[in-house]
Structure formats: structure tokens, C-alpha cells
Structure 1
Amino acid sequence: MRVIGLMSGTSYDAIDAAAADLRLDGDSLVLRPLGMVGDAYGAEVREALAAALPPAATTLAEVCRLDTLIGQAFAAAALRADRELCDGQAELVASHGQTVYHWTDGGRVRGTLQIGQPAWIAEATGLPVVADFRPRDIAAGGQGAPLVSLVDLLWLRGRPGTPVALNLGGIANLTAPDGTAFDTGPAGALIDAAVHHFTGRAYDTDGALAARGRVHEPLLRRLLDEPYYALPAPKTTGKELFHRDYLLAALAAVADPAAPATAADPGTPAAPATPAAPTAPASPTGRGTLPHQDVIATLTRLTARTVADAVRSVCATEVIASGGGTRNPVLMAMLAEELPGVPLHTSDALGLPSAAKEAYAFAVLGFLTLHGLAGTDPRSTGARHPSVLGSVTPGRDGLPRAPRGLKQPVRLVIG
């Protein structure tokens, strides 16, 4: 079956569309990658999305508008992938949608919201669409994340030692062979927030800004005091916690240790954010300003340090990384420094393009759903039981008649 997986992560810079030929072969699921295309959000959608995400407030009218606009953008990406990668022969679309809120309360996930109405995808492509993957796991008592953990477990099974799969998106997450999986904390989320605040750009291209800065140890220590890092797995987080105002509160606290923290409770809706001028905060040394390159270097080290701490906590012997963060050479070099003696590879070396791994993962989850097979491992999300994930929107010809009574695959083979 030719399946198109659609993904836009917490960095919301583009929609990744990956096409895969998937088939069950005994107890193996065989994935043949067909390629990936990427479509950047238009300026209107990106600006509207940025204005609506936490800690900003929004309206139901704006959520409705974004649900439609993002659904149409995902539909265009699916059409392009079908045309360019599948010769018009795709049979299913699996759409993660765009996460806009992950509701946590006292360490427990209460709900999650991904928008990008799948009806637009089904109408444009004529194909059935599996979407809204996360809520079923949450309803079963799970975290709803990281959902790629099942794919990682199948993919890494049989590899020697204790390999871990690491995804470096807006938020970093890892999966270990024993099923332990969790969000480690920010990957690009705070770096991107700082870059946009200081320069107006979306992200630190090639780590160039971090490379020109120096790590500011007082700021790093302050950021490492975040209670989230000490929580036990399974756990999940997002931009509800790690956002621009969180960073500005930390910078203010370092400049004036007596000042009270101002970051909002991640479980409480925040007031609208007031855009700040792109100027550096006061330096804690009292000698001018802290260069924004130093702030960005410090945040890059924060990501490397917290990821490395998480990797060490599961006694990993190898790290296989994917996601946009792998394209930041400064981040990857810092991560290697933090993990001496632990080989660090990207998923490309094992046959899965690192830039498209999550999109391929959701193609797998959509395929499993259509075949009535579970898309979660309770060890990874903390759910009471495995679940068949998502909701299915019929295509032009209704739903394909997938065979039932199939056995759950125990490994993923790339070939």
C-alpha cells in the first residue's frame, strides 16, 4: 500500500510529506521509502499560527479559520506528494496535523489539540485520511506522546547494545529498546524563540549565531533548574512551557536574582503576549547587554545537556538522531561533546532520511490504523493498553477493505 505521511512539528516551519510503500510480511512491516517533499506554510498562515500559539490567547473564530487554512495547506502537500512521489497511485494519507495545544495538569496529560481539518485532504486527493492520532492514547491514560516510539521500537529491534532513537524537533524526544520513551525538553523551541526575538528570523541557520557566541553559565544553570527535567518518564511537554516569555523570565531572573519568576503555569491559559522589541536583556554583570549570540549559544548547550542527561539515564550505547536539529552542526557537536564514547549517528545511516523520519512514522501509524492494528506501546506513553489510533475520513470511494485479523508486526524493515 502506498501511503503518504504528513507532519508539521512544533517549529511549524513547513509541512513534510513522505511517501512509503508499506506491506506486511509475516511478523515484519516492510517500508520502502519513496521520497519526501516539503511545503513551507504561507506567510499568512505562519503569522496567524504564531499569533495564536501559547502563551498568546486566541479565539474560537481564529481556531476555526486556522483549522481550515492548515487543512488546505496539508491537502496541497498531499496532492504534490501523490503526483511527484507516487505517480498518482497513493492509497492512503496519514496526517498528524499541527499541534496547537497539549494540555497538562499536575504532570498528567488531560487533552491535546491538533488542527488541519482532514476533510480538506480527503476532498482534494480523493483518498481516505487517518488523522487525530493522539487523543485515543490520552483517553487510555497515556501521554499521547511520543507516538513515534512504536515505530522506533520496531525499527531498532535486534540492533546490538542499547540504541536509542532521538528526534530533535521543536521538542526533543527519545525512545529506548525497553520501551522507555519521553520528551527530554526543548530542542529547537527556545533557540528558535530567541532567534526570532533578537533577529526576526525563524531559526539559527547552520548554528551560525550559536557558533559566534559563548555559553553564559549563570543563565544555563538557571534554565537547568526547570522542574520538568527531574520528572520521571513517561512525560511530555511542549511550547506551552518552553516559549519566548519563559526565556525572557529566565533572562530577567539572571539579571536580577531577587526578581520573582514570571513564567506562566503551563496548565493555565496565558494572557496575550505583547510583542517585545528585538533587544538583548540586561546583563547580570551590569556591564551593558548580554549578546544575543551568547543567549543562543547557551540555549543550544541547554538542549545538548538535557538530551545527553536523558540519554545517560537509559544507559544508551548508541544514539540515532533525526529531525531538523540534526542540520544544526553546532548542536550536534555539543551533543557529541556531552556524550563522549557514545556513537552519534543520524537515521540516514540506517535508511530513513532524518528530515522525513516523523512523516514516515505517521505513514506507518496510518497504515496500522487502517489494518486494525495498534499504534502505541503502553511502556512508552504510559497508557493502560495499546490502542488503534486516530479517526478515518473516507475518500471518494469510501474506505478500502483492508484485511482484518492480522498479527501485530514485531519489527520494521527498511527496504
Structure 2
Amino acid sequence: MALRVVGLMSGTSHDGIDAAVVDLEAHGDTLYVTVLGHLSEAYPPDLRAAIARTLPPAPATALDWCRLDTGIGQAFAAVARRAVEELGGGRADLVVSHGQTLFHWVEGGAVRGTLQVGQPAWVAEATGLPVVSDLRSRDVAAGGQGAPLVALFDVLWLRGRPGRPVALNLGGIANITAGVEGTFPVAYDTGPANALLDAAVVHLSAGTEAFDADGARAARGRVDEALLAELLADPYYARPAPKSTGKEWFNAAYLERVWRGHAHLGGDDVLATLSALTARTVADEARRHGATEVVASGGGVRNPTLWRDLARELGDVGLTRASDRGLADQAKEAVAFAVLGWLTWAGHPASLPSATGARGPRLLGSITPGDGPLRLPGSPGSGTAPTRLVLAGA
């Protein structure tokens, strides 16, 4: 019998919440996924501003954290309830809530902790459903990076495709999953995608704009090779995988420090150079793994300039969208977390140690009960853990 799951996701761009309602049913080693629908809802302006004020390197108080945990939890709750009613026909069995990442604590290449806020009790109270949340922390506790967790979804989804497909997500940070055809797939953050581009636009517009709409400003600019070389010299790019990063490193203050040495450049030239940076760093890593195809998703696929730059850097490596493979670009991560939560609910590990560097596979997340008592589906690990995933209609 299919389990109807609501997946909720907000990425490092912290612009809003993506939701997907998915029917999941396992037969043998195959997990069949039917996406009933997806929606996106922007954060209320005051909440998004509060998130921006709290992100590093800004100082924050315990009151700030508490207000955000509550406010984001309530926002996730409202989106979950809307998704159940509008996409799930008024019915669902489980909610999986990623929450909003506010800090990813990395020292010396090792992740010491990770913080996603958005109190799941609000989601459980609003929907009456059990909620799987805080999916990254267990992998971190096992010595892993806690990211990118979507690697297991990518492997189940792309395994069996011809050649060497590489999955790419272009959010605030770019990450790839490679080696899906082998025994030990890898996944890691390649560097910034939209994070520095958005920070530059906020600076240039004095906060009146949040992103470069349609990549128009970057398209008008010219890549400055000196600035690009300085950006590429950041030690993160040379660090071996597994590795992960976020806005605690690639943020407005980082951009300001670099930009200060190139003050003669116009804003459009800086944006063109930042777009080239993402394209170069992603393409370098895709080629490192012998990619024959890159399947991209996330907000960055809607930026024509970034897409053009990436296609040029990849050369004869095919560049396609997740939507070309039957999965809406903006829905992919919400669907992926619905699958990860289903695995937890079914008693199966949902982490991929070869990607995160953890000591072994782990059951992920914490479960907040809904209105009724928890009734997990049998003993832990019952049934067969899926080794492949099939999207209905794809």
C-alpha cells in the first residue's frame, strides 16, 4: 500500500518553502514514486528579512533563534497544511520537514554540527500528522558531513542510465552526485551557486532586489579574469571530498572582502564573473568524474546566463534539466526529502557514507508524533531496502 508523504524543503537561498506530495510504494528492491503535485510559497517579507539578519556573519541572540524557530515552523506548518489540502486531496500519512539551515559548522574540513530550524511541533499540530525532521544531524554525529543528503535519492533515481550521469543542484550552494553507476558514489558541495550572485544584487540594489532576474545584469557584464582567478584560489575548491559548505563561508562579507580589491569593476562585471565562477567550479568537478551527462535542478536552472555559462564550460558533456527526466526542477529536493523520510519511517538507512564520509549508513531524523500514537510499519528494517527508484510517468 502506498504511503502518502509531504516533503518540505527550504534551501540556502532562504527565499521560501517548496512542498511536494508524493505517493511511495515499494515492490521488492524498487521504490515507485508518484508525484501528485508540488508548490512553492515565498517566506513572508518580514520573516525572510529576519532570516537574512541572523545569517552569518551577523550576530544573533537566543531570542532571535527562538523567534526564527517558531516563525519558520509556523510557515512550514501553513505550507504543509496547504499541500495536504490542495495536492493530497485532503489526505496524507507523513510529513518530512527539512527546515531552514541557519548554520553549518565546519572546522578543518570536518563538520562539527549543523542547525536547521523550524520547530516540527507546529507542523504536527497544524496537520495532525507525524513529522520526520532534523535529518542531517545523525550523519554528522556519525562523522559525516550531513550533506548533500540528496545523494541517495540521486543514486536510486539515475542508476541504470547510460554513461556516467551526474546530478547537479543549483541552490544557494551547488552540489553534485557522481559515480551513481558504481559501488561507492560520491556527492559534495562544489561551491557557491546563487549565494554570491544574490549577495551582490542585494548590495548593488541597496536591498531592493534579492536576485538577478533572468540573469540580465550578468548578461550585460564581462568576466574579469583577475577577479575570477582570485575567487578560484579559495582553498575550498582544492579540498578533497567529502566536503560541504554554506553561507557561513560564501556570504556577503566574503564577497565584500574580495570585491574590495577590485573596486574599479562595475556591478554587472562582478555578476558576470560570479556566474563564470559557478560554471567553472561545477564543470571542473563534473569532468573530474568523467560525466557524460549533467542533470540539473534547483533555482539556478532558471537563470539563463548561468545556464549558458555552464553549458559552455561543460562543452560536449550533455546538460539537461531534472524536468527533462520527469521531475520538476523546483520540486526535486522536496521529493528527495519525502523519499528520505519514507526510508526512516520504513526503518531503512537513508545516508550514503561514501558521499558524506560517515562511519556507516544511519537512520536519519527525529519523529514528532501527530494526533494519534505512532504506528511504524513493522519492525525496524522490515522489508527490502530499495536499490532503484522509478518515477511514475517519467
TM-score, structure 2 as length reference: 0.96
1:85 to 73, 87, 98: 87
- Which residue of 2 is the match for residue 269 of structure 1? none
Write out per-residue CA displacement over residues 268-323 of structure 1, whole angstroms, 9 at most, x where no aligned residue: xxxxxxxxxxxxxx21xxxxxx2111111110110001101111111111100000
Write out per-residue CA displacement over residues 62-112 of structure 1, whole angstroms, 9 at most, x where no aligned residue: 100100000000000000000000011111000000000000111100000
- Which residue of 2 is the match for residue 263 of structure 1? none
Is contact 1:214–1:297 with CA below 8 Å preserved after alignment? yes
- Which residue of 2 is the match for residue 198 of structure 1? 204
1:209-288 mapped onto 2 (5 Å cutoff): 209-253=217-261, 255=262, 282-283=263-264
Write out per-residue CA displacement over residues 324-354 of structure 1, whole angstroms, 9 at most, x where no aligned residue: 0000011011001001110000011111111
- Which residue of 2 is the match for residue 314 of structure 1? 289
- Which residue of 1 is the match for residue 359 of structure 2? 384
1:352-391 mapped onto 2 (5 Å cutoff): 352-391=327-366
- Which residue of 1 is the match for residue 188 of structure 2? 182
Is contact 1:143–1:235 with CA below 8 Å preserved after alignment? yes
- Which residue of 2 is the match for residue 277 of structure 1? none
- Which residue of 2 is the match for residue 407 of structure 1? 384
The one-letter code sitting in structure 2 at the alignment partner of 1:28 is: T
Write out per-residue CA displacement over residues 358-394 of structure 1, whole angstroms, 9 at most, x where no aligned residue: 0000000111111111111111111110011000000
Q: Give the distance between the partners of 1:331 and 1:348, measured in 2 at CA.
A: 17
Q: Give the distance between the partners of 1:383 and 1:163, measured in 2 at CA.
A: 24
Query: Does the residue aligned with 1:218 lie in a helix, a strand or coil?
Result: helix
Q: Give the distance between the partners of 1:363 and 1:398, measured in 2 at CA.
A: 21
Query: Does the residue aligned with 2:37 lie in a helix, a strand or coil?
Result: strand
Q: Give the distance between the partners of 2:282 and 2:250, measured in 1 at CA.
A: 15
- Which residue of 1 is the match for residue 170 of structure 2? 168
Is contact 1:126–1:395 with CA below 8 Å preserved after alignment? yes
- Which residue of 2 is the match for residue 44 of structure 1? 46
1:335 to 287, 302, 310: 310
TM-score, structure 1 as length reference: 0.91
- Which residue of 2 is the match for residue 57 of structure 1? 59
Q: How far did residue 245 of structure 1 move?
A: 1.0
Q: How far did residue 134 of structure 1 move?
A: 0.2
Write out per-residue CA displacement over residues 198-248 of structure 1, whole angstroms, 9 at most, x where no aligned residue: 012111111111111111111111100000000111100000110011111
Q: Give the distance between the partners of 1:57 and 1:412, measured in 2 at CA.
A: 43
Query: Does the residue aligned with 1:56 lie in a helix, a strand or coil?
Result: coil
Identical aligned residues as a percent: 60
Structure 1 runs not aligned, ≥5 long: 256-281, 284-289
Q: Give the distance between the partners of 1:326 and 1:305, measured in 2 at CA.
A: 15
- Which residue of 1 is the match for residue 216 of structure 2? 208
Q: How far did residue 398 of structure 1 move?
A: 2.2
Worse overlay, 124-133 or 194-203: 194-203
- Which residue of 1 is the match for residue 131 of structure 2? 129
Q: Give the distance between the partners of 1:252 and 1:331, measured in 2 at CA.
A: 24
Is contact 1:128–1:398 with CA below 8 Å preserved after alignment? no
Q: How far did residue 403 of structure 1 move?
A: 2.9
- Which residue of 2 is the match for residue 325 of structure 1? 300
Write out per-residue CA displacement over residues 30-65 of structure 1, whole angstroms, 9 at most, x where no aligned residue: 100111111111111111110000011101111001
Query: Does the residue aligned with 2:370 lie in a helix, a strand or coil?
Result: coil
Write out per-residue CA displacement over residues 103-145 of structure 1, whole angstroms, 9 at most, x where no aligned residue: 0111100000000000000000000000000000011110000
Structure 2 runs not aligned, ≥5 long: none
Q: Give the distance between the partners of 1:243 and 1:55, measured in 2 at CA.
A: 8
Q: Give the distance between the partners of 2:373 and 2:41, measured in 1 at CA.
A: 27
Query: Does the residue aligned with 2:123 lie in a helix, a strand or coil?
Result: helix
Q: Give the distance between the partners of 1:245 and 1:398, measured in 2 at CA.
A: 47
1:148 to 2:128 alignment: no
Q: How far did residue 400 of structure 1 move?
A: 3.0
Q: Give the distance between the partners of 1:133 and 1:306, measured in 2 at CA.
A: 27
Q: How many residues align?
A: 382
Q: Give the distance between the partners of 1:174 and 1:203, measured in 2 at CA.
A: 23
Q: Give me the CA root mean square deviation.
A: 0.8
Query: Does the residue aligned with 1:326 lie in a helix, a strand or coil?
Result: helix
Q: How far did residue 397 of structure 1 move?
A: 1.2
Is contact 1:137–1:383 with CA below 8 Å preserved after alignment? yes
1:393 to 346, 368, 375: 368
- Which residue of 1 is the match for residue 121 of structure 2? 119
